[in-house]
Amino acid sequence: MLVKFWMTADVITTDEDVSIVKTSRLMKERGIQHLPVMKNSRLVGIISDRDLKEAQSSNATSLHIHELHYLLEKLKVKEIMPKKLYTTTPEAPVDKAAALMLKHNISSLPVVDNKGNLEGIITKGDVFRAMATISGIYQAPLQLGLELEDEPGSINEVTEIIRAHGGRIVSIINTYHQAPENFRHLYIRTKDVGDENALLSKLNGKFRVLYKTHDEID
């Protein structure tokens, strides 16, 4: 799952010398929360609606409304945008982009090519959409959580049992997070299971079933 399949390619941008008032107005009109910042057609930063709100509130103090508006009209995007710019590339995996956002507590990443040209933008919302899609929740409401020994063939054994009960596997997520040593956790979404109770009984005889859920998206 690569960034290029989930990013927004038609990117709205602002210039570093535009006032934060005009930039804020543009965000509201377009219904967006992040704007890449350009200088001479080159990416130099990114600004969010949070950056704009913080800048406006920090200048409020006891100023008269007209004085405040005058100051904000003079304040340019380049003066308040974050100094550090984090980016990703179209060929990067989405989970790498997600990890970068999480590490630096940011909500979006400009997407650039190997020459630094702006190709798009990917946001936390895009990442959520990608992860929800790959999880299989839209195709299979039944999810099984299993704990099994970390040994060759264990996942194949689980899938064979599910298929033997008529199940069609939509997604498999394998992780060692929170699993005991020498064990792994497996999360499977499946559909068309004939007898769920019989399936659970069979799985419980060989593995530890952590949970079973039926998830419908309203």
pLDDT value of residue 140: 94
Residue closest to 90 by CA, chosen among 107, 124, 125, 114: 114
Say which CATH topology domain 138-214 has.
Answer: Alpha-Beta Plaits (3.30.70)
Query: Which of residues 108 and 55 earns the better pLDDT score?
Result: 108
Beta strand 118-123 with 168-175 is: unpaired
Q: Which regions of the chain carry the CATH code 3.10.580.10? A: 3-132
- Decide: 191 and 140 in contact? Cβ < 8 Å: yes
Q: Is the pLDDT of residue 63 over 60?
A: no
Query: Which of residues 164 and 61 earns the better pLDDT score?
Result: 164
Whole-model pTM: value is 0.84
- Decide: 201 and 122 in contact? Cβ < 8 Å: no
Q: Is the pLDDT of residue 58 over 60?
A: no
pLDDT value of residue 68: 54
What homologous superfamily does CATH list for 3-132? CBS-domain (3.10.580.10)
Measure Cα distances from 154 to 59, 135, 142, 157 in Å: 61, 21, 21, 5
Q: pLDDT tens digits, residue range 83-100?
A: 999 999 999 999 999 999
